[in-house]
Amino acid sequence: MPFCRQCLLLLLGGLLAGAAVPAVADEAPATRIEIHNPHSRLVDGVWQVDADIDIELHDPLLEALHSGVALTFVIEFEVLRPRRLWFDETVAELEQRYRVSYHALSRQYLLINLNTREVLTFYGLRALLDRLGRVRQFPVIDNRLLEPETHYDVAMRMRLDADELPLPLRLRAWTSSDWGPSSDWARWPLR
């Protein structure tokens, strides 16, 4: 009897392993957001940030966008003063918000800067995502607000604001990482 039980367990394990392989192989690629080459510089007394953000949208976000759901992306910035024996002090926090939408009738993508209300139109999603991911001369803090001879860091990340999705999709976003993609925090010295 023990021999039959072992055979049954091996057979069951083999079936489960075989069933799992196609599921992994057929899995769609995940939406990806990555920050590259972040740096800051002092221009006319204001610290500005430049960075490149690589954004790849995949289902289910692409399907939602093409079905008329607007996606809100947030770029968050923090200026931090590191401390040795305690948590870092947050000196300043800023966010830049963008809404991405698709209009099926005109076959155009819209990128709306929600802070300035500037609207840009694109005929292709790749061009829009490239523009969204190009952060240039973003002012993060006035140099007069910083203590001289003190070390500061800048941190930034981009994320999809799941709270701006329609309610049924918002519930999915709370339970699935497909609906709430975020980059890792990029951090570098303010200099």
pLDDT tens digits for 66-80? 999 999 999 999 999
| Residue 125 forms part of a structural domain | yes
- Rounded CA gap, 171 and 154, in Å? 32
Q: Side chain identity at 17, as an amino acid letter?
A: A
12 domain residue, yes or no = no
| Domain-located, residue 4 | no
Inside any domain, residue 24: no
Asked if the structure places residue 3 within a domain, the reply is: no
User: How many folded domains does the chain comprise?
Assistant: 1
Cα–Cα distance between 173 and 88 in angstroms, integer?
30
Least confident range of 86-95, 112-121, 140-149, 172-181: 172-181
Amino acid at 139: P
pTM above 0.85, yes or no: no
Look at 4-8, 108-112, 149-153 and tell me which has the smallest mean pLDDT.
4-8
Does 10 fall in a domain?
A: no
Domain range holding 92? 29-189
- 39 domain-assigned: yes
For the stretch 20-40, pLDDT in tens is 333 333 455 778 999 999 999
Give domain status of residue 5, yes or no. no
Convert the pLDDT of each residue in 149-188 to its tens digit: 999 999 999 999 999 988 888 877 777 777 788 999 999 9
The strand pairing partners of 79, in sequence order, are 92, 154
